[in-house]
Structure 1
Amino acid sequence: MSSRDMVLARVRRALVDVPRGEGPGGVPVARDYHRVHGSRTSAQNVDLLAENLADYRAVVHRSDVEGLPRLIGRLLAERGARTVLVPPGLDASWTAGSTGVTLVEDRASSTPRELDAVDSVLTGCAVAIAETGTLVLDGGPDQGRRRITLVPDHHLCVVRVPGQVVGSVPEALPRLAPDRPLTWISGPSATSDIELDRVEGVHGPRTLEVILLAAASEAEVESEAEAEAEVEAD
């Protein structure tokens, strides 16, 4: 018996109790699964996201709006970046503190070799998932073309918290359009060979740095978290 015959025999055995004429739509599928595990406040979701990002070897920073340009400038300087690729819809104030850095436009004509020569790429994101430590990009104005986050070796991604953070994948999906070029990022690019030797930077950036951008001050964020916890306790 060939491998093909074995596979088909298993399929026939699995379908032996299915009535003739019954199609895939003939049996309703329950959709009452949990959308999120446990109960967390917005602040706890942000903390869980930071924890899981770090577990995937991403470098996590926190900032408010006022301190963001200074932080981005410092991170690029520490890396020695001289060129940074920016999407067309990126907030111009984000790079205001990046002195001595040349901003590279996201152009359709850019070749892979030209993109590989860029030191860093700076983007926003569409949504971030706390339970999986995943960033999702959908090619929006502040994210640019999909390839610009796959070729350069250093990706600096800004996540607006808590607004762009959800607890789980089922919560993220309704926020995303299936016809958009979605890129799901869980840490820097990495792979392992047959001997389980980990190699980073093979299919994307070798270094992923994530900035959790809070619109409020740290004190206000803590105050909001305490208020949410009190409401849940009541």
Structure 2
Amino acid sequence: MSGGASRDRILARVRRALADVPRHERPGDHPVARDYLRTHGERTPAGSVELLARNLADYRAVVHRVEAAELPALLTRLLVERGARRVVVPTGLPGGWLAGAPVEALPESASPTARELDGADSVVTGCALAIAETGTVVLDGGPGQGRRSSTLVPDHHLCVVRIADQVVDSVPQALERLTPSRPLTWISGPSATSDIEMDRVEGVHGPRTLEVILTAGDPRSL
């Protein structure tokens, strides 16, 4: 069946399904029940953080835990161990996070090109929030989070999550805190895909390596 015939067949099904819908009717006229579970099970805040760490690891992200005051030293160590020399620095990233790191900063404010971003070894960001039940980190382009290109082109992403106020249990809780009009990027582990033989290839649509740093305390003042 040709592409045009397939399209016509699908559109015909849509028209048949809508045949008895009055023209004046709008989606808001029939509210959708949202009585689904907001969370699956009961957890303490510490339990939510544990679940987040486990699910991140299941997606092959590397998880670290650190006190806020120790964050700059950890970032420096991780970048040195990786051999990162050029690091993308999003607008609004706290200056103290990379103050001691022996790297060349590629400031996002300089509007780096895709080629320049591809030449960067790593990017360091914060996040909007993290979802325990799905092991997902969400970026919304806020201060210190970077533009989409800044976080998808470099091969190594270091993402800082504040335990106290950025970890939520579930997707419904996350949606309540996120603004749909913002550029949301949902990250569950490093970028990966599989072919028909189920051979996994990482780094196809984004960073090959994702490291998430769960931080106790508030590192924004560093």
Q: Distance in 2 between matches of 1:58 and 1:191?
A: 15
Contact 1:123 1:143 in 2 (8 A): yes
For residue 116 of structure 1, what is the aligned residue in structure 2? 118
Residues 169 and 110 of structure 1: is their aligned pair in 2 closer, same or farther, counting only changes over 3 Å?
A: same
For 2:32 and 2:216, locate their aligned partners in 1 and report how far apart those are by CA, in whole Å.
Answer: 40
2:124 counterpart letter in structure 1: L
Find the partner of 2:217 among 215, 218, 223.
215
CA positional deviation for 1:4: 5.9
Q: How does 1:95-134 map to 2 (within 5 A)?
A: 95-98=98-101, 100-107=102-109, 109-134=111-136
Tell me if the contact between 2:152 and 2:205 (Cα under 8 Å) persists in the aligned partners.
yes
| Conservation of the 8 A alpha-carbon contact between 1:43 and 1:162 | no
Identity over aligned residues, as a percent? 69
**TM-score, structure 1 normalization:** 0.83
CA contact (8 A) 2:191 2:202 kept: yes
User: Which AA in structure 1 matches 2:147?
Assistant: R
Q: In structure 1, what residue type is equivalent to 2:74?
A: L
Alpha-carbon distance between aligned partners in 2 of 1:176 and 1:62, rounded to the nearest angstrom: 25
- Hey, what's the Cα distance between the residues in 2 that align with 1:117 and 1:19? 54
- Which has the greater radius of gyration? 1
TM-score for the superposition, normalised by structure 2: 0.88
* 1:110–1:20 distance in 2 versus 1, CA, 3 Å: closer
Q: Contact 2:192–2:200 at 8 Å: present in 1 too?
A: yes
Structure 2 residue runs of 5 or longer lacking an equivalent are none
Q: CA 1:14 to 1:81, structure 2 compared with 1: closer, same or farther past 3 Å?
A: same
Instruction: Find the aligned partners of 2:7 and 2:123 in 1 and give their Cα distance.
Output: 47
How many residue pairs get aligned? The number is 214
Q: CA deviation at 1:33?
A: 1.6
Distance, in Å, in 1 between the alignment partners of 2:178 and 2:80 is 34
Q: Given the superposition, is the C-alpha separation of residues 54 and 22 from structure 1 closer, same or farther in structure 2, using an over 3 Å criterion?
A: same
CA distance in 1: counterparts of 2:77 and 2:98, whole angstroms: 11
1:71 Cα deviation (Å)? 0.8
Post-superposition shift, 1:41? 1.0
Alpha-carbon spacing, 1:108–1:32, altered in 2? closer, same or farther (3 Å): farther
